[in-house]
Amino acid sequence: MEILRLIAALFIFRQYNDRSQHRNREACTEITKKCVQAAASEDDRSCSSLSPSPRSSSPVQVFARFSPLIGGPALLPIHAEIMILDRDNSSEIPGIANNGDGGCSVVHRIDFVPKDPKDLDTILKLITMQNVPGTVRHRKFASGSSFRNRDFLSSDEINVVPQKRIQRLLTTTSSVEKVSIVFPLGEIILNEDERFVDSVRSPRSIVELVDKKHGMELNLLRNNCYSFAFEILSCLKL
């Protein structure tokens, strides 16, 4: 049931993204018309002032990633997580827009796993459909020149990695060691009430959800990585 809910959410997200992109194209066309009219009338106002403020709207890309369970079969990608890409420059990642300003890329990985996934008692409880302590993870992987000489580089919560690591996270891979499947869900706009927090601009709703779910228990039938992935997509206001 949880898998079906997640699949339905992914479909709704893609539909939502298609409509959002259509609205964004219409908005850009309208802005261009206003700029042309302003230039023709020799208006001193800058065309950029007609564009939405970066503070009031911030586009990010959302992905669903399926990978093997911790300690599970390497060729069975059944663990689900949601990834959010916030980028200034992602030219090295195929299919991802490049702003060309030499900025940075940050990938937020959010998922729900057992607290001690390799512990025998945990495994026995899971396969007999009992609750086990769970851990909600919000991992941040940052890459780019913008992160050089920054105070937070020593933080345990932020992993500064090469751009190739970011690329691998966002790409479907297959090898004898591990199989990971990544589905790009599209781009969304985070408005003023979704202002980013902390040094790598974590979406506020994600931070609040992770805090809210801290310490909850995991159950393979009722409260698992699929139901949590669905909650992540829901808190992004799909």
Look at residue 56 in the predicted model and tell me its pLDDT. 44
Three-class SS state of 93: coil
| Residue with the two structure tokens 């699929």 | 226
Q: Which amino acid is at 76?
A: L
- What is the secondary structure of 184-213 as a DSSP string? EEEEEEEEGGG-EETTTTEEHHHHHHHHHT
Tokens coding 42: 């020799």
Cα–Cα distance between 147 and 104 in angstroms, integer?
7
pLDDT at 192: 61
Q: Give residue for tokens 């060309």.
A: 100
Between β-strands 217-218 and 57-67, what pairing exists: parallel, antiparallel or unpaired? unpaired
CA-based R_g, the chain, Å: 20
Taking CA 22 as the corner, what is the angle to CA 20 and CA 23, rounded to the nearest 5 degrees?
65
Residue 15 tokens read as 């539909």
Say if residues 180 and 8 touch (Cβ distance below 8 Å): no
pLDDT given at position 36: 36
Rounded CA-CA distance 141/120 in Å is 31
Q: Report the alpha-carbon distance of residue 17 to residue 4 in Å, rounded.
A: 20
Q: What is the DSSP secondary structure assignment for residue 94, as one 8-state letter?
A: T
d(CA 159, CA 140): 6
DSSP label of 176: S
Give, in degrees to the nearest 5, the angle at Cα 201 between 26 and 162. Answer: 100
DSSP element (H, E) containing 52: none
Q: Are 82 and 232 in contact (CB under 8 A)?
A: yes
116 token code pair: 């001690």
Q: What is the pLDDT along the chain (238 residues), one digit of tens a residue?
A: 555 555 555 544 555 455 545 454 454 445 334 433 443 444 344 323 333 334 445 688 999 999 999 988 988 999 999 999 988 644 444 444 444 444 688 999 999 999 999 999 999 999 999 999 999 999 999 887 666 555 555 455 788 888 899 999 999 999 888 899 999 998 888 766 666 777 777 888 899 999 999 999 999 999 999 999 999 999 887 5
